[in-house]
Amino acid sequence: MPIHRRPGLDASRLDGVLSLDLDRGVAGIDLAQESFVDAYALVGLACFIASAARDGLPVRLVLPEDPDVRSWLSRMHLGAVIDAFGAWVEGALPRVPERDRRDTLIELERFDDAHGSDRLASFVWERLEGGADGEVVNQLFEATGELGLNVVEHAGSPAGGFVAAQRYKAGMPEERIIVAVGDVGVGIRESLRPRYGDMTEGEAIRRAIQWHVSRIPDEGRGQGLPGVVDGVRGLDGVVWIRSGAVSRKITRRRETTSEVSRLQGTIVGARLPCRPGR
């Protein structure tokens, strides 16, 4: 009997593979039928594993049945997160060789200080330069640095932050790059609450993408996330911001907010065409 293949696991489908059984005190990730996992979903999986470990919940991870997808997860260093936080895996990730260091991907990486944030931004530049228009690479360089710095300065995440990126459909008209940065910190609402008071999680995200909104009242603050959103949107890209139980999708033409399962911390992802306007 052929394996039923779902659409690839991305920002819109992440919730479908996650489960929390608080009565039994177990967290679950079921990737059995997945045919693909993109960079945003990979960061989401890492955040879920780290968050469950912080709460003392064991994580049971069911790997994809497709051997190519298992190899891909190994190539993207999901095994390092599994080992760091003690998730229990049904099956085993295969050992795969590292490929060319300029194969336009950034394996799942963990960072916990400003130096790590700067290093990741430089890493994005080195890996993606030449794989996309210069304005796209520059925007991703700036976005990764700003988002990484947000994690360090505002998230209060004991596990630090996670980043991953990849170029997809190389050489095709729909060629694109996805980069995501996530953490298991206090979330956007709690970060802004001391200065702006009580608000819903959706309101907190809407406020956070406005210029000069920051938990720190110093002049010049509050430009990082709005700059990322405006820059990506200006290149006809997409931004996803997920914090708490709310996710917001932002494109050049519209913004939509949806309720999602609660995930500790914040995940920000961006998708950019490699050749805007072509």
- Please give the Cα distance from 33 to 13 (Å, whole number): 13
Question: So what's the pLDDT on residue 195?
Answer: 92
Per-state percent for the chain, helix, strand, coil, to nearest 5: 35, 25, 35
- pLDDT one-digit tens code per residue, 72-83: 999 999 999 999
pLDDT of 218 over the 80 cut: no
Min mean pLDDT across 94-103, 132-141, 148-157, 232-241 is at 94-103
pTM of the model as a whole = 0.90
**9-13 mean pLDDT:** 94
More confident residue, 216 or 8: 8
**249-267 mean pLDDT:** 92
Query: By CB neighbour count within 10 A (0-12 exposed, 13-18 middle, 19+ buried), where does 14 fall?
Result: buried
Question: So what's the pLDDT on residue 241?
Answer: 95
Query: By CB neighbour count within 10 A (0-12 exposed, 13-18 middle, 19+ buried), where does 109 fall?
Result: buried
pLDDT of 113 over the 90 cut: no
- Please give the Cα distance from 45 to 230 (Å, whole number): 27
Q: CA angle 71-76-80, nearest 5°? A: 100
Question: So what's the pLDDT on residue 61?
Answer: 96
**249-257 mean pLDDT:** 94
Strands, sheet with 105-111, edge to edge from the N-terminal-most edge strand: 105-111, 161-168, 176-183, 255-273, 238-250
- pLDDT one-digit tens code per residue, 114-167: 666 677 677 677 766 666 677 877 777 777 777 787 787 777 788 888 988 888
**9-18 mean pLDDT:** 94
Beta strands in 22-158 (DSSP E): 26-30, 59-62, 88-90, 105-111
